[in-house]
Amino acid sequence: MATFFDSFTPREVAQISAHGRRVKLPEGWSPIWEDTPADKAYILLEGSVSVRRDGTEIAQLGPGDIVGEAAIVGNTLRTASIVALTPLVAIHFTDTDVKELLEEMPSFREKLVAVVESRVKG
């Protein structure tokens, strides 16, 4: 299955990556909590996460996937928590970084909105 990052050209990936900062997160860590403000998002480079709503796993995501985007796009509180199933390497974005990318890159906006819509329906 194609990931969020797969849909961009290498130049676009570089532009997106330049807006964030590379971070390493330990296994078991939860960078995003349900019902909290939308202040960050991550694109996973290595490792996998569990997406949990009310403590129940609803999905697993891995390299190339984005997490934390829906609440930023929708200006809402988080609808799920994210828990690292393995050590992670990811690109961390603040909500401001994501909003700047939405403004600067029509392709980013289009693909991010498509991911959000597919997850809301899913």
| Residue 85 three-state SS | coil
What is the structure's pLDDT at 121?
63
For 21, the enclosing helix (H) or strand (E) is strand 21-25
On the question of pLDDT at 26 being above 90, the answer is yes
70 vs 42, which has greater pLDDT?
A: 42
Among the listed residues 109, 104, 116, the one whose alpha carbon sits nearest the alpha carbon of residue 19: 104
The model's pTM is 0.91
Q: Class of the 5-121 domain? A: mainly beta
| Pair 19, 101: CB distance under 8 Å | yes
On the question of pLDDT at 62 being above 70, the answer is yes
What is the structure's pLDDT at 122?
53
